[in-house]
């Protein structure tokens, strides 16, 4: 089990990372590092003798976080940013059909299951709308508006 990255290598994180309870001063589940952020490897260790864990210093965030190897890519590797991430709620901006049959109408809400980044086709998502999963291009989706209690009382 040889590490892909070494001390001083600049890396990019490809998944959002939340506090699993090991980052002090923050609640469990609170976001630590957003996908696409870059940092420098400070150390390489193992977890349970079968996983490489990199200590990465995200200088712009002033945050040092442990990352699994599969969460990182080299700074020179292709990175296509996406508007949404897995488990985010979205709604369709357009009517979506399969073989001419309407499956999703504008405004219908769904949840991102998987993100596909492709240099030629851009960003595509597997989105579950009720009981069906469709592959949807990024420009066909929009964020579901989340109202805060304060906004609701002012409405």
How far apart are alpha carbons 23 and 18 in whole angstroms?
9
pTM: 0.65
Residue range 105-138, pLDDT digits in tens: 999 999 999 888 876 778 899 999 999 999 999 9
Pair 95, 58 in one domain: no
Strand order in the sheet with 132-137: 132-137, 122-129, 109-118, 89-92, 141-143
- Does a structural domain hold residue 111? yes
Q: What average pLDDT does the chain have? A: 87
Domain finish residue from 74, 99, 116 = 74
Is residue 106, in this structure, part of any structural domain at all?
Answer: yes
- 10 Å CB burial of residue 67 (0-12, 13-18, 19+) is buried
Q: In this structure, is residue 2 part of a structural domain?
A: no
Of 54-58, 115-119, 140-144, the poorest mean pLDDT is in 115-119
Structural domain span for residue 49: 10-74
Q: How many domains does the chain have?
A: 2
């Amino acid at each position: 089990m040889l590490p892909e990255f070494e001390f001083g290598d600049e890396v990019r994180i490809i998944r959002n990372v939340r506090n699993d309870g090991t980052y002090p001063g923050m609640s469990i589940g609170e976001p630590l590092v957003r996908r696409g952020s870059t940092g420098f490897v400070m150390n390489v260790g193992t977890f349970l003798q079968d996983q490489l864990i990199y200590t990465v210093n995200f200088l712009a965030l002033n945050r040092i976080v442990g990352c699994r190897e599969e969460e990182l890519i080299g700074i020179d590797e292709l990175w296509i940013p996406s508007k949404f991430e897995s488990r985010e709620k979205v709604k369709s901006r357009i009517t979506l059909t399969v073989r001419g049959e309407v499956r999703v109408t504008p405004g219908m809400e769904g949840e991102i299951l998987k993100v596909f980044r492709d240099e030629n086709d851009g960003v595509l998502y597997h989105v579950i709308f009720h009981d069906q999963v469709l592959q949807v291009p990024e420009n066909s989706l929009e964020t579901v508006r989340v109202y805060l209690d304060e906004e609701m009382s002012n409405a």
